[in-house]
Amino acid sequence: MPATIAATTPSLCTCFRLRRASRRVTQVYDHELAAVGLSLNQYSILRRSEREPRVLGELADELGMDRTTLSRNLAPLADAGLLETVRGPDARRRMIGLTPPGRDRLAAAKPYWQRAQATLDAMLGQAGIQRLHRDLDHLDDLLRHHLGEAA
């Protein structure tokens, strides 16, 4: 099959389509967040640690990451002084908390995240965004059930 045909033929693989779209969406957010020295992944970790220190395993579950991947992503944030390991009520559970510089960086990043979000909202419109969120949440629920995870 000639390369030009293969490049324009839609893939029947759902995973390929989701990953391709996800990479492109991530690029929109990463482009904006680069102004404050964060990636979308880093922003998400900081955002989900904003209210209170989080147990590592619970944070990994919320982000849809395994603990090893999350630990790898936490290292540069901790090295930059944006996150710290904090003591929780149970010493056996590792907890991650946002530091004051982490709160400052997150506050500085929010307008850039909002600009990326507004870009996608404008592309899809309110009804399109609502439909996409509903469909993605439904797919996530189905997959969690299929994989035997707690909902």
State what percent of residues in the chain have pLDDT above 90: 70
* Res 150: pLDDT: 55
Assigned domain for 1 exists = no
Do 112 and 36 meet the contact criterion of CB atoms below 8 Å apart? yes
Assigned domain for 4 exists = no
Assigned domain for 26 exists = yes
126-147 burial string, b = 16+ CB within 10 Å, else e? eeeeeeeeeeeeeeeeeeeeee
Assigned domain for 23 exists = yes
Assigned domain for 120 exists = yes
pLDDT band, very low/low/confident/very high, at 90 (cuts 50, 70, 90):
confident
Asked whether the predicted pLDDT for residue 96 surpasses 80, the reply is yes
The parent domain of residue 33 ranges over: 13-146
Q: How many domains does the structure of the chain reveal?
A: 1
Assigned domain for 54 exists = yes
Assigned domain for 125 exists = yes
Q: Helices 56-63 and 67-79 sit at what angle, rounded to 10 degrees?
A: 110
Asked whether the predicted pLDDT for residue 22 surpasses 70, the reply is yes
User: Domain of 70: which CATH number?
Assistant: 1.10.10.10
Asked whether the predicted pLDDT for residue 125 surpasses 90, the reply is yes
Assigned domain for 5 exists = no
User: Residue 32 corresponds to which tokens in the numbers above?
Assistant: 């904006």
Asked whether the predicted pLDDT for residue 5 surpasses 80, the reply is no
